[in-house]
Structure 1
Amino acid sequence: MTEVNVRLPIRLGQFLKLANLAESGAHARELIETGEVLLNGSPCTQRGKQLGEGDTVTVHGESITVIAD
């Protein structure tokens, strides 16, 4: 599992791009809408979901934990 330092607050769609889990905002939206994004182990379809320190985002088996900068 990888960790990414971010400045909080951050939304799920933004985090996917920052963590290189999505190539663009449109790609992030597609991943989220199709249920391919897990937040703390559960599917999350809210692109604007606020993430907090310690949250784990998983896409296609790659997990990244949010760490506050």
Structure 2
Amino acid sequence: MTDEIQVVLKKEPAELCKILKFENLVMSGGEAKQVIAAGLVRVNHEIETRKRKKIYSGDLIEFQEYRLKITTDS
């Protein structure tokens, strides 16, 4: 079963590694960078290996059993 989480960005773009860290899907920024580099994260259904990939409203991040739908508060 997939948990879907809505993530509201206060400022866009945001870096992929920071979103994983701030949403507590990993323990640290270093771990976020490792899982991204290992190809374990998808952005908009494509494997993403760029740690500082810019994420915008409308993007979908998938990691393990989590799906993060990105929106803004504006």
Same fold (TM over 0.5): yes
Find out whether 1:27 has 2:27 as its counterpart: no
1:26 counterpart SS class: helix
Q: How many residues align?
A: 69
Of 3-12 and 38-47, more deviation after overlay is shown by 3-12
- TM-score (norm. length: structure 2): 0.85
TM-fit CA distance, 1:2: 1.6
1:9-42, Cα deviation, whole Å (9 max, x unpaired): 2010111112222211011011101000000111
Structure exhibiting the larger radius of gyration computed from Cα positions = 2
- TM-score (norm. length: structure 1): 0.91
Of 45-54 and 12-21, more deviation after overlay is shown by 12-21
1:1-69 counterparts in 2 under 5 A? 1-7=4-10, 8-69=12-73
**Structure 2 unaligned blocks of 5 or more:** none
1:34-60, Cα deviation, whole Å (9 max, x unpaired): 000000111000011100101011111
**Structure 1 stretches of at least 4 aligned residues deviating more than 3 Å after TM superposition:** none
**Structure 1 unaligned blocks of 5 or more:** none
Aligned partners of 1:50 and 1:22: how far apart in 2? 18
TM-fit CA distance, 1:61: 2.4
